[in-house]
Structure 1
Amino acid sequence: MRVRAAIFDLYETLITEFSDGKRIFRRQQDDPDRLGLSQDEFKREWRARQERRMNGSFPTFHAVIRDILEQRSLSYPHEHVEQLYRARVEEKGLPFQSIRSDILEMLDLLKKRGIKLGLISNCTEEEVIHFGRSPLASCFDEVIFSYEVGMAKPQKEIYLMACERLGVTPEESIFVGDGGSDELRGARDAGLQPYHAYWFNTYIESGFRKLHAPLEVQNILDHH
């Protein structure tokens, strides 16, 4: 069946937070200490709320921090939480400043071929504030952020929502992602053809076909 739509993951597929195996920016290491938590305690609490952060149960960064502190019977330092929020927005904005040229070229070539482009990202509000100001924003016909729609990959419904918005069937669609959040299996279960983006994140293994460079997406279309 002819491919009519290509749906992409965002982080570690179109942009990356890493350079030479390390995050390109880190917040001050004493930030959690100023909340009354150690680094390890804060990480545990943050990760324990991963699913609820992605599906919008916590609508904002501030809501997550408030819940963590309330569960620990700690006070809520408004000024410091706001500083943490601004630092996180800055950190999450950095990957949008250096988008690889071959990724933009790949998206442009797909559009010129008449392929509809969609984006599905498991994310929170502060992680994608800079998306709308980036060159990526104008590339896509539909963008779905998990926190806005109340569901996240690998839930089948989020892929079906993307296809419906694009006006295509799952069978006419490919999904390209680095494999985080079990997203490739989710795409397959929803009826899409999944492909493993293997140009940034090479730590996740899967049984799906690997693409070692963005422009290899073109090869998929040539064989359909």
Structure 2
Amino acid sequence: MIQAVCFDYYNTCTSAVRRGGGHRRTAEVLGVDPAEWLSVLDRTYDERARGGYGSHLAGLRRLCTELGVEPTTAQLREAAELRLATVQADAPLRPETLGVLDALRAAGVRIAIVSDCWFELPLVLPRTPLADVIDAAVYSCQVGHTKPHAAMYATACAQLDVDPARCLYVGDGGSRELTGAARFGLTAIQLRAPDLGAHLTFHAEPDWRGPMVTSLEAVPELVGARELVA
């Protein structure tokens, strides 16, 4: 019997992530080249997601230093706010996400968000409607490891007080999260939504051959909560 569901956040609870113009504006505020800014974000993703770049201002300063720029504190603060707004704009919630989570919660199923992320998501998620319907949030930058490390799944199961065998994991497959979840004992399900394919992701697992769904709306039925909330 399934007692809990862990959801990846980006590209799963959100629509396909695509970088918008906010990144260029952030680079301009910091006084760095926009193309170099995107390159350093890609290059440092893993370390940032493990929490290795510290707080948001310290992390932004370190990225700029690596690009040979020394921004002022005022620039860093403006850039941090832009970064938060940009990440939200790049990854809006799927229209069905809240209804799916409401249905699961109404059925007594515990819910966790398990995400690889930098400083943004711990600040953004509490401001979203999801904050009222989840039981736990596991952020890689706080755990000190990214998926597929077992610590991410162990932390989620501990916070949900659930045995891995009683837990589903739903994600698009970034960070090889599905393989990691299955290895830890969760039932892993890939979301292959129509908008996914050219989305921003890191360490995808295109070779996944396990269960899959094309919409989050299929998840409640998998655990017996058949009525979706409108």
TM range (shorter): 0.7 to 0.9
Match of 2:154 among 150, 160, 170: 160
Residues 1-224 of structure 1: pairs in structure 2 closer than 5 A: 2-16=1-15, 18=17, 22-23=18-19, 25-27=20-22, 29=24, 31-32=26-27, 35=30, 37-94=32-89, 99-199=93-193, 201-203=195-197, 205=206, 206-222=208-224
Change (3 A) 1:171 1:124: same
Q: SS of the residue aligned with 1:29?
A: helix
Given the two structures, how large is their TM-score scaled by the length of structure 1? 0.84
CA distance in 2, matches of 1:127, 1:142: 13
Change (3 A) 1:66 1:182: same
Change (3 A) 1:67 1:4: same
Change (3 A) 1:163 1:41: same
Q: SS of the residue aligned with 1:144?
A: strand
CA distance in 1, matches of 2:196, 2:143: 29
Identity %: 24
Change (3 A) 1:201 1:195: farther
> Is the Cα contact below 8 Å between 1:123 and 1:147 reproduced in 2?
yes
Given the two structures, how large is their TM-score scaled by the length of structure 2? 0.82
| Letter paired with 1:10 | Y
Equivalent pairs, count: 216
> Is the Cα contact below 8 Å between 1:16 and 1:200 reproduced in 2?
no
CA distance in 1, matches of 2:3, 2:219: 13
| Letter paired with 2:139 | F
> Is the Cα contact below 8 Å between 1:15 and 1:95 reproduced in 2?
no
The unaligned stretches of length 5 or more in structure 1 are none
CA distance in 1, matches of 2:107, 2:153: 22
> Is the Cα contact below 8 Å between 2:30 and 2:79 reproduced in 1?
no
CA distance in 2, matches of 1:28, 1:158: 28
The unaligned stretches of length 5 or more in structure 2 are 198-203, 225-230
Change (3 A) 1:57 1:200: farther
Tell which deviates more after alignment, 123-132 or 185-194.
123-132
Note the C-alpha offset of 1:17.
5.6
Change (3 A) 1:68 1:103: closer
CA distance in 1, matches of 2:130, 2:25: 34
Note the C-alpha offset of 1:52.
1.7
Q: SS of the residue aligned with 1:162?
A: helix
Please tell me the root mean square deviation across aligned C-alpha atoms, in Å: 2.4
CA distance in 2, matches of 1:108, 1:55: 30
Note the C-alpha offset of 1:51.
1.5
